């Protein structure tokens, strides 16, 4: 790796760390400065004044805010997100059990979106203004406009309830091992994953279509055509490579939307990820879990963005220099 | 002579009139606009269209029928009434949140473009805000403050302005280098006067599109929060109807409890998208 590439990666890592610090700080001050008092939420109304004071002291809520902020940062660096109000378990333990499921769901949704989106985008761009193109465009706009739980419920009702092809809740059957376990995980993953794919696919295909049409008009593409390169090779080898850059950047920006979608999808399908933990914590007013879940999801998004950025910077020299 | 030349030329049309004429020729845009007007009318006329669904009755989970055109839910409440009153709540919260977000976003976007010293700081703030997963953060705050219509409006607005600020800033950046801004500076115009007279009219078109798109995104956010149980407990909204279907388990047995609120959300979002695409096309001389 050249020094330029190392410098580029270092700058991106620094920016990722800055974003993490921002997320942490915003959360801390919002929670402390907002009207709601987290101590009141755990304190029983019938509690004596002394008990209440003890409780507040045990959470460190009686000290100056900057001291609290510092301690909060120190704890966070050690991976300590506090204790769940209701489950009497460290928040980190609760969430780390859930995180792999959310990662599995989100990653599989990204992979399927790209795998289906690229051929669809190429099809629409190379047949611009044909009926295929119009169908893709109208479908894209409609899919983009759907409310995530609506798609989730629709798929659940059709494929889970009416046809009975796929399970409608959970992530794995009990008492399965080996290959049967893998099959069970995949079967439970299909519907939630498909719900997330449908909401992302529209903007992915529409962006790829627009940039690919632009790229196909570039001089170097005409040159390749003039040299006698086959039409298929011009599209897939020459134009697509350049059109994928803005499309991938968009994917990166959409990670935060994807995570929001995952929270709603996991709720519909009782999928045991971080999103479902959020839904359960809302019902129990378990603020440490809500706060920890936001930070875990924010860090996931930041790291995903960072990896996309660096991978693309290494592949495409234009990104490094800009 | 000169009088004749003047009358020979067609009277020059204002840009607004040209935009309107081009917009009217776009059937999808007009359809989108009509659907939005219809939804707004339903929201305003809700008390005339249906009784507020409350209490319970014995007609539990009845499918669409003469008495209940959209069926009833698990407590025997009329789904048609829920969707009608939900339209009122969803649009009111979405629109109020959008107006707040537009005011804040426009102020910050214009400030960033106009005062060069603020640009970097505001740009970093907007970038950072846009790179965080907004829904989990809204959930955290709404849960802490306690669910109500006001909470929803403020929380949604608080996380919708960065998008507006980014769009307004980039539009304001194209206005700034214009000579009339420099001229206004030279004749000693104050900053507020220049911004009011020259910069704001320049960004007005993108603000108009933003109102529509931000409202639609705010309605989706409201639906998301309500679906998770953070809606205003005293009012029906589209998200609340879905939340009840999820909580009672009727979403697996009674399709009408989820289909109709979903269709309402879809109608609103699709029509706002069509409307703003048509407006953008009509405004742009190249696509007019």
pLDDT digits (tens, 9 = 90+) for B4-19: 444 455 556 677 788 8
HEC string of chain B equals CHHHHHHHCCCCCCHHHHHHHHHHCCHHHHHHHHHHHHHHHHHHCHHHHCCCCCCCCCCCCCCCCCCCCCCECCCCCEHHHHHHHHHHHHHHHHHHHHHHHHHHHHHHHHHHHHCHHHHHHHHHHHHHHHCCCHHHHHHHHHHHHCCCHHHHHHHHHHCCHHHHHHHHHHHHHHHCCCHHHHHHHHCCCCHHHHHHHHHHHHHHHHHHHHHHHHHHHHHHHHHHHHHHHHCCCCCCCHHHHHHHHHHHCHHHCCCHHHHHHHHHHHHHHHHHHHHHHHHHHHHCCCCC
Domains for chain A: give ranges and CATH numbers.
Answer: 3-30+100-321 (1.10.3720.10)
Residue A44 reports pLDDT greater than 60: no
* Per-residue tokens: A79: 């991976």
Residues in B touching A287 (Cβ below 8 Å): 140, 143-144
Nearest to B180 by CA among B203, B193, B195, B198: B198
Q: Which range among A62-76, A221-235, A273-287, B85-99 has the greatest average pLDDT? A: B85-99
Q: Is B236 left (phi over 0), alpha (psi -120 to 50) or beta?
A: beta
User: What per-residue confidence (pLDDT) applies to A58?
Assistant: 67
Residue A106 reports pLDDT greater than 90: yes
User: What per-residue confidence (pLDDT) applies to A272?
Assistant: 93
Whether residues A278 and B258 touch (CB distance < 8 A) is answered with: no
User: What per-residue confidence (pLDDT) applies to A321?
Assistant: 60
Residue in the block written with tokens 């970097």: B120
Whether residues B143 and A297 touch (CB distance < 8 A) is answered with: no
User: What per-residue confidence (pLDDT) applies to B1?
Assistant: 43
* Per-residue tokens: A257: 């939307």
Of the candidates A38, A147, A259, which has its C-beta nearest B265's C-beta?
A: A147
Full-model pTM? 0.86
* Average pLDDT of span A139-162: 87
B255 interface with A at CB cutoff 8 Å: yes
Give the distance from residue A178's alpha carbon to the nearest chain B alpha carbon, in angstroms: 31
* Average pLDDT of span A204-208: 88
Question: Which contiguous run of DSSP H or E holds residue A120?
Answer: helix A91-126
Q: Which range among A78-92, A224-238, A295-309, B200-214 has the greatest average pLDDT? A: A295-309
* Per-residue tokens: B166: 């980014």
Nearest to A52 by CA among A64, A62, A65: A62
- Range from A145-159, A161-175, A267-281, B91-105 carrying the lowest mean pLDDT: A161-175
Residue B31 reports pLDDT greater than 60: yes
Which band of pLDDT confidence, cut at 50, 70 and 90, is reported for residue B2? very low
Whether residues A282 and B230 touch (CB distance < 8 A) is answered with: yes
Residues in A touching B251 (Cβ below 8 Å): 153, 156-157
User: What per-residue confidence (pLDDT) applies to A20?
Assistant: 92
Residue B189 reports pLDDT greater than 90: no
Residue B194 reports pLDDT greater than 90: no
Give the distance from residue B145's alpha carbon to the nearest chain A alpha carbon, in angstroms: 5
Residue A1 reports pLDDT greater than 60: no
- CATH 3.10.20.90 corresponds to the domain B20-49+75-283: no
Whether residues A153 and B143 touch (CB distance < 8 A) is answered with: no
Tell me the pLDDT of chain B averaged across its residues. Answer: 85
ipTM for the assembly? 0.84
């Amino acid at each position: 790796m050249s020094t330029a590439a190392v410098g580029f990666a270092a700058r991106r890592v620094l920016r990722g760390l800055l974003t993490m610090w921002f997320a942490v700080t915003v959360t801390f001050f919002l929670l402390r400065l907002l009207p709601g008092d987290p101590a009141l939420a755990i304190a029983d109304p019938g509690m004596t004044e002394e008990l209440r004071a003890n409780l507040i002291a045990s959470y460190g809520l009686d000290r100056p805010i900057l001291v609290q902020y510092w301690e909060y940062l120190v704890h966070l660096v050690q991976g300590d997100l506090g204790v769940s109000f209701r489950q009497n378990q460290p928040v980190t333990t609760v969430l780390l059990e859930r995180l792999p499921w959310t990662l599995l769901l989100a990653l599989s949704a990204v992979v399927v979106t790209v795998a289906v989106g690229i051929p669809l985008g190429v099809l629409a761009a190379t047949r611009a203004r044909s009926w295929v193109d119009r169908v893709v465009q109208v479908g894209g706009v409609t899919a983009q406009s759907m409310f995530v739980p609506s798609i989730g419920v629709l798929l659940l009702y059709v494929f889970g309830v009416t046809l009975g092809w796929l399970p409608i809740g959970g992530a794995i059957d009990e008492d399965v091992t080996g290959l049967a376990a893998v099959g069970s995980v995949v079967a439970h993953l299909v519907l939630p994953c498909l719900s997330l794919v449908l909401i992302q696919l529209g903007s992915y295909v529409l962006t790829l279509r627009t940039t690919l049409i632009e790229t196909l008009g570039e001089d170097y593409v005409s040159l390749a055509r003039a040299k006698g390169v086959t039409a298929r090779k011009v599209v897939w080898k020459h134009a697509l490579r350049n059109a994928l850059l803005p499309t991938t950047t968009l994917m990166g920006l959409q990670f935060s939307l994807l995570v929001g979608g995952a929270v709603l999808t996991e709720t519909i399908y009782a999928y045991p990820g971080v999103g479902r933990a959020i839904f359960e914590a809302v019902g129990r007013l378990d603020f440490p879990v809500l706060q920890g879940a936001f930070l875990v999801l924010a860090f996931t998004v930041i790291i995903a963005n960072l990896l996309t950025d660096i991978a693309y910077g290494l592949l495409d020299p234009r990104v490094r220099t800009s | 002579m000169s009088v004749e030349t003047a009358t020979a030329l067609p009277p020059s049309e204002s840009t607004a009139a040209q935009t309107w004429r081009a917009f009217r020729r776009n059937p999808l845009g007009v359809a989108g606009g009509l659907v939005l007007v219809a939804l707004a009318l339903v929201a305003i006329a809700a008390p005339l269209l249906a009784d507020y669904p409350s209490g319970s009755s014995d007609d539990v989970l009845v499918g669409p029928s003469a008495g209940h055109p959209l069926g009833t839910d698990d407590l025997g409440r009329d789904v048609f009434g829920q969707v009608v009153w939900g339209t009122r709540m969803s649009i009111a919260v979405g629109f109020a949140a959008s107006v707040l977000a537009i005011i804040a976003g426009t102020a910050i976007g214009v400030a960033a473009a106009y005062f060069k010293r603020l640009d970097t700081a505001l740009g970093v703030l907007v970038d950072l805000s846009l790179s965080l997963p907004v829904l989990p953060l809204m959930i955290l705050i709404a849960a802490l403050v306690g669910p109500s219509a006001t909470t929803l409006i403020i929380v949604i607005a608080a996380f919708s302005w960065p998008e507006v600020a980014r769009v307004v800033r980039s539009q304001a950046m194209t206005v700034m280098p214009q000579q009339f801004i420099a001229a206004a500076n030279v004749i000693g115009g104050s900053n507020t006067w220049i911004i009011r007279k020259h910069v704001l009219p320049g960004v007005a078109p993108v603000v108009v599109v933003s109102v529509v798109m931000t409202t639609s995104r705010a309605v989706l956010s409201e639906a998301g929060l309500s679906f998770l149980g953070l809606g205003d407990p005293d009012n029906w909204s589209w998200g609340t109807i879905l939340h009840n279907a999820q909580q009672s388990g009727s979403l697996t047995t009674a399709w009408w409890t989820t289909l109709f609120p979903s269709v309402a959300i879809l109608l609103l979002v699709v029509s706002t998208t069509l409307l703003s695409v048509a407006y953008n096309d009509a405004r742009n001389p190249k696509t007019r």
